[in-house]
Amino acid sequence: MNHPKPRTRIQQKNTEAILEAALDVFSQYGFRGSTLDQIAQAAELSKPNLLYYFPSKEAIHATLLAGLLDTWLDPLRAMDPTGEPVEEILAYVRRKLEMSRDFPRESRLFANEILQGAPRIKDALEGELKNLVDEKSVLIARWSAEGRIITVNPHHLIFSIWSLTQHYADFDVQVHAVLGEDSEAPFAEAERYLVTLFTRLLTP
């Protein structure tokens, strides 16, 4: 096999170094804006060596994206039908905000892909993603019908959680530019603001 799955320790290490470097580069410059030279340098490997581990630039990018959607949806999957509705939704908001804080590169990789028309993950958006969102929307609608939260459009509620939390990763430069040097930790402030927002929105 020309481009093996990692078996030895050294293969494991190099494959990981490449993916780590590629995440850095792709998340900042997008697919077309990134070069193998940049990735090779960041991974401290030669360009041909990169292409020993992956058949192409596309393949590196695809590998990164493949794992991403699943991880990205975990917090939504964790929303518990048997829990207390407002608390469940707030917990989802908190987990998403933590992901923006702890995995901003992944968020930007995803944002770059969507922004450019999602050429590589459109199928997953229309399949896996839509299915999960539809399922959780039914749950949210039920909570509304039971009078445990107010009645809102469940899909747009979910969109709002995504946009509000991912903003702090994707538009990070703008957030810092506006808040300036003297800003307190943006994420702590953001959490307080978002908890207020969703509590007041949802509580009947």
Partner DNA sequence: GTCTATATTAAGATAGAC
Partner DNA sequence: GTCTATCTTAATATAGAC
Q: What is the dihedral of CA 106, 99, 92, 159, to 10 degrees?
A: -40
d(CA 89, CA 180): 31
Residues 56-115 that bind DNA (CB under 7 A): 56-58
For DNA, which stretch binds (CB under 7 A), given 29-37, 113-121, 156-164, 174-182?
29-37
The answer to whether residues 45 and 14 touch, using CB atoms and an 8 Å cutoff, is yes
Hey, is 4 helix, strand or coil?
coil
Residues 91-110 that bind a copy of itself (CB under 8 A): 108
Shorter beta-carbon distance to DNA: residue 59 or 138? 59
Q: Does 11 bind DNA (CB under 7 A)?
A: yes
Q: Does 55 bind DNA (CB under 7 A)?
A: yes
Q: Which does 174 bind (CB under 5 to 8 A by kind): a copy of itself, DNA, none?
A: a copy of itself
Shorter beta-carbon distance to DNA: residue 4 or 81? 4
d(CA 160, CA 167): 11
d(CA 66, CA 109): 12
Size of the site for DNA (CB under 7 A): 21
Q: Does 16 bind DNA (CB under 7 A)?
A: no
In whole angstroms, the minimum distance from the beta carbon of 48 to a copy of itself comes to 23
113: its two tokens: 């892909």
Q: Which does 69 bind (CB under 5 to 8 A by kind): a copy of itself, DNA, none?
A: none
Give the chain's radius of gyration (CA, Å). Answer: 20
203: its two tokens: 């509580």
37: its two tokens: 């030279």
Under 8 Å CB-to-CB from 13, ≥6 apart: which residues? none
Residues 150-179 that bind a copy of itself (CB under 8 A): 150, 152-153, 155-160, 162-164, 166-168, 170-171, 173-175, 177-179
Residue 174 C-beta-side C-alpha neighbours within 13 Å = 6
Hey, is 98 helix, strand or coil?
helix
Positions touching a copy of itself (CB under 8 A) are: 28-33, 108, 111-112, 114-118, 122, 125-126, 129-130, 133, 150, 152-153, 155-160, 162-164, 166-168, 170-171, 173-175, 177-180, 189-190, 192-194, 196-197, 200-201
